[in-house]
Structure formats: structure tokens, C-alpha cells
Chain A
């Protein structure tokens, strides 16, 4: 078990760094297969001659920042307004299903909602709008990348929300908040000053991951972003796809530039953080509530009826309404696209198909089931392996808690977030070349491993805080009663963490099912999954089959999340306290 953290690191860090190196060499002109064996700056020069390069980079940063900032503001406002109330619980129920839906499915659905021939206009036509044919509006794709940002926000808000919820639960910040409120701080002030700094610190890495993903993903960029200026990932893909093989070195330079671009964005974000937190600290020092409110509470006023407690302000309602709005949009997006799989004829301006048919499901059953099997096999294997590694790492961390190793391993494990922060295509490209040079046959285990690169960090993110938040005294008690450490882990720690473990596992399944680039690049196209099929179909345009895959994409992970909620309830039905841990 002592070797769990180093092994995990080796499994993850090595291929990523090697992959990056394999991209760096060609980007400086070294590409033996093309007869290029000398280093030069020519590919870089050629890259900067590409028209729209600068505007594309700026546009990418702009979209990435907008999506991340908006998602953060929404999540933190919701927590600020409703921390620990029933509202958070019901929001969680609404947002969690969205987390499980792949980006590609949401993006395609959003595209169908907002297009000039899309569902919203169909719903209002021709009675209200008077349109008998689609209007000439510049929606989908819109020139400002608004839909792109919207689709990302719909997906990232649930992600950040659940991460925030997990770290809050682990942190006992509800007690801190109650204490602060007890001292007379109104709820919002208490949240901003007492809870948020710690909460943000814990969410920093996930936020960077969101920023990186917003700047480098392919699936949303290909479906919703405008063509001019193109998002950087799209530009990169175009160069990479060019049949002119000499452009491969330029593609490698572009991949390198994408890495730098994301790092630059993270640095800018970090500087922004520091500035905001400095201002914050100053405002805390000047807080007008400092003395007055303490008096208020001391006077024994019932907080329930005071202006600062449970009564919701306009801002609170706005925050709640925005997130509910996102839920509704997201749900519409994922519900309407699958309807296509039951449509025979569905033309503008009909809001529902004119002719329904099960033809697709009966005639293409095998066509649909095969990729679904592959998806499930990869997802189950990758999540199970990743969960096991995470458990071993965390247990090792707990055991070495009071030693120096603890700090060391904590820092080192940060590295497993690398696959989330470094743009996917950039290092996958390199890994692909490396796999070939070592003649690794392309088989299922390789793809599972490639998926683990992305699944493990999410599982770690989701499980880590719960694990660390578990009261150590349970284990201590068990050990005092004579149980050894392994027995304690199996009989005390793991059962107590049943719910977080299952949730992390379901999250792993959802991540794996949504993965596109690793499936196609590392899997060499030999293992079609429902997501790779859906993206391929999105390019080809048969919406009915696309609808079928979208339905599977949305429901499969959802099933696992439902199980993750249900199983602890059944197992712990006589021990309500356990289920709540």
C-alpha cells in the first residue's frame, strides 16, 4: 500500500510528460518519418503565418474565461444564498443528472433548441412568430460564441456545484457558518468571509480544470462555436486533419501553443484570484457588521424573522432562478434530441414529429447495442481500477498523516490533475506515437488505461474530500478494539464511505462514457463507443440515429448515479446515520 501513491503517479505522470515531449520534438521540426532530422523554428514560423491565429487565441481565452467565470459566479451565489437549506438539496437533485450527461449530447441538444429551425422557434411558429420557414437569424452558431458558453455553463455548473457540496460537507463548514451567524453576521456576510475562502481553496483545481476544458474541448467547439474566428482546438484539429503531411509539424507546434495558452489563462486567473482576495480581506477588516450585529444577536432577537436570515432577497431568488433555468434548458436539450430517434418525418415548424416510427430502433438495434457494450465495458473497468487506486492512495495518506510523507504525497498527488489541466489532444497525440514506437498492440486494456487517465482525477476529486473529512476517531476506536489497519479499512472506513464511493464510481462511469478524444486517438478508432459514434454522426447529420445515441449517453450514466443513491439507502435502511455520512 505504501507504493500506491508512487505507482499511481508513475501510471499517470509518465505518459503525459512523455506524450508532451513527443509533441515538442516535431514542433521544432524534428520528425524522422518525414525525413526531418534537424531542429528548426520553421513550424513555429509557419504556425504564426496562419490567418486568424491571434484572433482565434483571443477568442478562445474569452470564451474559456466567460464560461468559467459565469459557472463560478452561479455556483458561489447559489451557495451564498442557500447554504445548508433545503433548497440546496433540491438543487442537487436537479443538477446531478445533468452532470452525468456528456458534453456532446448537451451541445447537440442546445444547438437544436436555438437554431433558426430549432425547437424554440418551432414551438412559437407559425401562430406567434408568423414564420412559415426558418428566420434568417444568426443563432447556432452565433458569431459571439454565446451558445458555446451556454452549453459549457450548463455542464460545468453541476460539476462545480457537486464538488462544492462535497468539499463543504467534508469541511464541516456548516458549523462555521452557524457560528458566524450566531455571532451576528448575516448569512451572506458569514458565507463570504468564513466559508468561501476555504471553499474556494478546495475548489481551485476543479476550477482550473473547467477553465482548461472550456478552452480546449473538441466536442462542444465542433457543434456550437462559430467558424470565424475559430476556437483554437478547432483550428488545431483542422491543421492536424490536413492531408498535406508536412503540416504535421505545424500541428505539433499548435498543440504546444495550446498548452501554453491554457497555462497562460490559468496564470491570469490566479492573478485575478490574488487581487480579488486582497480586496476581500480589506473589506472584511472594514465590515460594518463587526460590532453592530453581535449586539443584535446578543439582544436575543429571533434570527428567523430578522432581515438577514431566512428571508430571501432578490439576489437569492435570481441565483436560484438562474440555476433552475439552466436545469430546464439542459433537460430540454437532452430530452428533445432523443425524440428524433422516434421520428420518421419532423419538419419545420412542427414542434413534435409529424410521423412517428420505431423503425430506427428495430432496424438498427445491433448497430446501437454494439457500441453501447463497448462503452459499458470500458467505463466499468476504468472506473473500478481507478476507484481502487484512489482508495489505496487515500488510505496510505491517512496512515501517514502525521509524518512528513503526508505533506509530500499530498503535493505529489496534485499531479494527477494534470490530464484535466493540460489540453487533451496535445498529449494524446504524443502518447499515440509512443505506443507505436514500443509496438504496444491496440487492445482493450490500453483504452481502459487511457480512459483511466481522465477518470481517476475525477474520482479522486469526488472521493478525496469525503475521505479526508471522515472522523479519524472511528478508525482509532476500531484499532483500539484490536482490529488491524487493513481490517479497519475494510470493515469501518469503506462501509462508512459507501455512498461517496458509489458516487465517485458513478462519476467515473459518466466521465468515461463522455470521453471522445482518448477513445478515438488511443483506441485508434477500433473501439467505437456511443460517444465516438454520436460525434461521428453529428458530422454526418443523421439526427435520428444521433438521437438514439444521445438517449443512451444520457440514460446510461444516470442509471449508475441512481444506483449510487439507492444502494446506500437499501444497505443502511436500518442505520440511517450511516447513510448520511
Chain B
């Protein structure tokens, strides 16, 4: 080492010390501030401390660029705020993740699993809960859980009639929305009978995604709601009378399929695919679970300017989606920190922003502290072409018991193929 480098060494040392002092001061200040903010959740700080430096693999469906983009923002933020390295584990279907955890269990890998957080709901949640593949209960100990609107949004604590019991933390709400092309459809059909009449008159211009796609399955459940005499039966697990109850559905579908796109012999794989068909002009209708999708898709050019959303007169099925932590997750603390961040007013407001994702919040916005409410105020100002107001969305119908999804899917596949 030459002597000229000694001063530079000293300078480096000094710089490092200065940095260390600065970091310490900042840490102290921030932890002090945070203690005041969440005095009742001091225990969560231990989790946050442990989470620092962890890598969290978040298994989430990756079919929509808007959502992927949002997750990239989340990753930047949790890295900045909590030192958590969030990675998007891209899925084509949530059941991939369920199966992966199962495969790990079968190999005796009960710790250090490959997935730390899963975007989940409905039958996937039920399957994981029943097979004891989930860590928890953790949802209620997240500091931000106190803002969740459990009262007015019952779907946030009852997932397809299954109590969440704290094994999954709510992330967003959803409601089935029909999309139509205003330029081609003068008066959109607002119940099943009108839909069939319209489809007969305009052959080949209606379709729905093929089950087991979740939107396609929801369309079946939605149709069943319109066709059963007493919808109470849907809240209970499927019984012996499944065929009797669903008979009207199959005879309705027989009629509908014969006048559908591709004569009902082929179906789009999922809703983004059906949006593409609508954008190409092959069909006049599409379906989505995200009321904000129409506006944001128009803005991005993936739906025509003339696309509009609407719901059936009697209402459409609504539900919530969640995040859950596998029992063998490697970074359970990091996963909880991410889940908590996803529930923060800032993250929830950004998610609800039509220019970002447009997914409705699970929080009780009017009960938020004033500073937090500002995030939502900001996005409310942006009225968009094609946006649906809460009034237009009307009443949402509760999800049937998950066994209905499974039985309907199975029966549909038996009748109409893979």
C-alpha cells in the first residue's frame, strides 16, 4: 500500500462513521415516530426487525400488466421502508402455487419453502386451509388490519362462505361486471332472459371465459343465481340435489351456446383474452371482476373507447381477494410486513387508482385518520371514461359455498370439454 492512500483510507473511515451515525439517528427517530403511531401494536416491530433483509417470494397471478406494474411499485416501497426484498413469483394460475406447497410438503420440506406469500381466495383458500398448508392466524395482528371494513364488506372475513379465521389477510374487493361495446349494443341485456334473446338476435357475439377460469365459473354461478328459486341453497355445501338444482342452468346454456361466439365450441381462456376479442370486434361483450378495469383498459388502449361496464338488475356476485402465508414459508416475518403494507391506506389508495390498477379498497375509507384519507381524496378527483360509480354497481350478491364452484366446474367440463 502506498502512503498516499492513507489519507483516503481515513476519509473513508470517517465517511462510514458519519453514515453509521446518520443511520442510527434516523432509525431511532423513525422507530420513535412509529411507536407513537402504532402504540398498541408494538409487537409487530419485532416482526419488522426480523423481516429486514429477508427475501419474500410473492406468488401472484401475472396475467395483467397493470397488476404486475403495481407489484413492482410495492416491491420498491417495501425495500425502501422495511428493507424487505419482494419478488413477484409469476403464476398463470393460483393453483400452481397451491400445488407447489403441496409438493414441498410431500417432499418433507416443512421449513424454508419456496413461497412466502400467495394471492388467493375461494376454492384455493379452502383447499389450503383444509390441508393445513397455511401459516396463521396472522391477519388480525397486522397493525393496518384495524382499518379494514369488515362490517360493510362481509366478504373480507368470509371467503366464499368459509370463515377466514385470520389465515388470510384481505387485499381487495371485486364484483362481476359485464362489459359491452356501446357502439354496437344499443341496450345491454340486464338479466339472463334478455341476454339469451340478445344472443339469438346477434349470433356469435357473446361468449364467456371457459371454466375453470374464475370469471367463467363466476358467470355460471351468476346465471344460477338468476335461475334458482331460493338462492339460500347456494350458501350451503352442494348436496345430493345438485343435478335437480342446476338443471335449469344446463338447459339455459344449451340454448345460449348454440348462438355464441364459435357456436359455443370454443371459449376464451380468461377475461384479458376476452377483452382482446372485444377489442378486435369479434364479440360485443366481456366480463371482469374489477369494476375499474373498463376505464383503465380504455386508457391503455386494450379496450375500445366505446366500451362500458354494467351489472345485472338484480345485482352481480361480489367477493374479496386475499394474501395468505404458506405453513412452510421461509420469510414469514417479511411476508407479514408485506401483507401489512398492502393494507396501508397509501398502498390501498394507489391500488384503487384507475390509472394504476383500479381494484377497490378493503378499507373503511371514512374511518381513516385524516392524513390517510388524503390518499383516497387524490384519486377520487380523477373521473375517467368508463368508470363505474358505487351506485351503478348496486348490490353485490354473496359468493356461494366453494363446493358450488368445484361442482359447477366439473359438471361444465364433463358436458362441454376441457
Contacts and interface: CB of A to CB of B under 8 A. Distances in A.
A526 B87 contact: yes
B267 to A, nearest CB: 6
Interface residues on B, range: 35 or more
Nearest to A432: B103
Contacts of B281: 117, 133-134, 347-348
Given A241-B93, A437-B108, A541 B265 contact: no
Interface in A102-146: 115-117, 133-134, 136, 138, 141, 143
Contact of A138 (B107, B203, B263): B263
B250 interface: no
Interface stretch (A80-88, A155-163, A226-234, A457-465): A226-234
Interface stretch (B186-194, B270-278, B368-376): B270-278
A524 B114 contact: yes
A540 B124 CA distance: 20
Contact of A245 (B91, B98, B275): B98
B418 A230 contact: yes
B77 interface: no
B418 A52 contact: yes
Contact of B131 (A52, A238, A245, A537): A245
A576 interface: no
A344 B301 contact: yes
A536 B67 CA distance: 13
B265 A138 contact: yes
Nearest to B263: A138
Contact of A541 (B62, B89, B123, B272): B272
Contacts of A229: 417-418
A355 B65 CA distance: 21
A243 interface: yes
Nearest to A226: B266
Given A245-B102, A245-B131, A436-B107, A542 B282 contact: no
B302 A542 contact: yes
A526 B65 contact: no
Given A347-B279, A525-B91, A243 B98 contact: yes
Contact of A545 (B65, B87, B93, B418): B65
A238 B212 contact: yes
Interface string A42-68: 000000000110001000000000000
B262 interface: yes
Nearest to A532: B90
B345 to A, nearest CB: 27
A328 interface: no
Interface residues of A, number: 60
B2 interface: no
Contacts of B166: none
A540 B114 contact: no
A533 B68 CA distance: 12
Given A227-B210, A228-B266, A442-B114, A540 B63 contact: yes
Given A227-B267, A436-B109, A540-B63, A524 B418 contact: no
Given A33-B106, A439-B109, A141 B272 contact: no
B127 interface: yes
B73 interface: no
Nearest to B113: A436
A243 B123 contact: yes
A150 B280 CA distance: 23
Contacts of A134: 280-282
Given A241-B212, A545-B65, A116 B418 contact: no
A238 B418 contact: yes
A437 B105 CA distance: 9
Contacts of A214: none
B266 to A, nearest CB: 5
Contacts of A367: 68, 72
B132 to A, nearest CB: 11
A535 B304 CA distance: 24
B106 A31 contact: yes
Contacts of A234: 418
A32 B103 CA distance: 10
A532 B302 CA distance: 22
Interface string A18-54: 0000000000000111100000000000000001100
A540 B96 contact: no
Given A52-B418, A244-B127, A442-B114, A436 B282 contact: no
A442 B102 CA distance: 17
Nearest to B415: A51
A524 B100 contact: yes
Interface of B: 57, 59, 62-65, 68, 72, 87, 89-96, 98-100, 102-109, 114, 123-124, 127, 131, 184, 203-204, 210, 212, 261-263, 265-267, 269-270, 272-273, 275-277, 279-282, 301-302, 304, 406, 413-418
24 contacts: A31-B106, A34-B131, A138-B263, A222-B269, A228-B417, A234-B418, A238-B212, A243-B406, A244-B406, A245-B99, A245-B127, A347-B281, A432-B103, A433-B103, A437-B109, A439-B107, A526-B87, A535-B92, A536-B90, A537-B65, A540-B63, A542-B64, A542-B302, A545-B65
Interface of A: 31-34, 51-52, 56, 115-117, 133-134, 136, 138, 141, 143, 222, 226-230, 234-235, 238, 240-245, 248, 344-345, 347-348, 355, 367, 432-433, 436-437, 439, 442, 524-526, 528, 532-533, 535-537, 539-545
Q: Which 8 A-B pairs have the closest CB atoms?
A: A33-B106, A540-B63, A436-B107, A228-B417, A230-B418, A541-B272, A117-B280, A136-B204
Given A34-B106, A141-B262, 16 more contacts: A51-B414, A138-B266, A227-B266, A227-B416, A228-B418, A230-B417, A242-B212, A243-B124, A248-B99, A432-B103, A436-B106, A524-B100, A535-B92, A536-B63, A540-B64, A540-B65
